[in-house]
Chains A and B, each alone.
Chain A
Amino acid sequence: MSGPGFLATRFDTALGWARKFSLFHYPFVTACCGMEYMSAACAHFDIDRFGAGLTRFSPRQADLLLVVGTVSHKLAPALRTVYDQMVEPRWVIAFGACAVSGGIYQNYATVQGIDRIIPVDIYIPGCPPRPEMVLDGLLKLQEKIQKEPQDWRWTKKT
């Protein structure tokens, strides 16, 4: 029988469950979407009830990079540096139309979507997205984390 065995898949599920309900996010907040991020994080719409409430302002301690708002070309090296400094396993959510695709800004100064710089897992569209959409995106990410094979064994990455 090929593929991971019964114990490995059970362990994967358990690890996925633990990881999805304890996301420490790094809010890379730039622009207007930051206001809706604040709303989503505060008492009314509360992302803490999904386990993602604690912000960690160090890339080393965070596993979810929440890119909120427009990324300009001037800021792109900082974003790339922060992403590179994050430790595996890490996920990226593009929050807001500007992070997804450049939004309403298509000009000399704006990066047309952060997926041109870093790989993105979940895209949350909206200008700005309602907090309910943010929570929906977070739940989709949690589903994704649960289903993907967890890398719990230390393997040399080529």
Chain B
Amino acid sequence: MDKEDLIDEIRTRFGADVESYAETFGDQTLAVRREGLRALMSALRAAPYDYAVLLDLTCVDYAAVESRFEMVYHLYSLSGNRRLRIKVSLPAENPVVDSLTGLWKNADWLEREAFDMFGVGFIGHPDLRRILMYEGFEGHPLRKSYPWRKEQPLVPMKD
């Protein structure tokens, strides 16, 4: 299926949930409402779109400028050799979104990392806890509000 036709089909099928479509530097990007995310993702994973691989899941902090967090998902279809980027805006006061753990197995660890680094909540995640930072670390390091050089040592430091 042609890349442009595919996007048109997704937009007609999901109507209100797809907020906008853009093509930045050659990458196809769909902006989606967070309520419709899970339905859209499970449809994209199945035929005919066939996005079998969740390549990446990450978050960008726009809390200071536009008071929102933006979840960014990268999908890849092996059979069609096409990539797709999905973006979901989350309000800064309540950054929660549906978890994708039932759809792709690596969503487990990826969402744990997004939670650890940004504090985004994932509804339906079986075991949401820190993965890269340690227990007892306060704050979410990749948020713009976290000071870059603020260390929280576990062992008493000399000098």
Contact = CB atoms under 8 A, between A and B. Distances in A.
Contact of A117 (B148, B149, B150, B158): B158
A116 interface: yes
Contact of A108 (B146, B154, B155, B157): B146
A106 interface: yes
Contact of B154 (A76, A107, A110, A115): A76
Contacts of B159: 116
A106 B149 contact: yes
A74 B158 contact: no
Interface in A84-116: 106-111, 115-116
A110 B153 CA distance: 9
Contacts of B12: none
> Range of interface residues on chain B?
10 to 19
Contacts of A51: none
A115 B153 contact: no
B153 A111 contact: yes
Contact of B155 (A80, A107, A109, A115): A80
Nearest to A79: B155
A79 B148 CA distance: 24
Contacts of B95: none
Contact of A73 (B146, B154, B158): B154
A109 B130 CA distance: 14
Interface in B123-159: 133-134, 141, 146-155, 157-159
Nearest to B139: A108
Contacts of A115: 158
A109 B153 contact: no
Contacts of A149: none
A109 B141 contact: yes
Given A73-B134, A117-B157, 9 more contacts: A74-B154, A77-B155, A107-B149, A108-B141, A108-B148, A115-B158, A116-B159, A117-B155, A117-B158
Interface of B: 133-134, 141, 146-155, 157-159
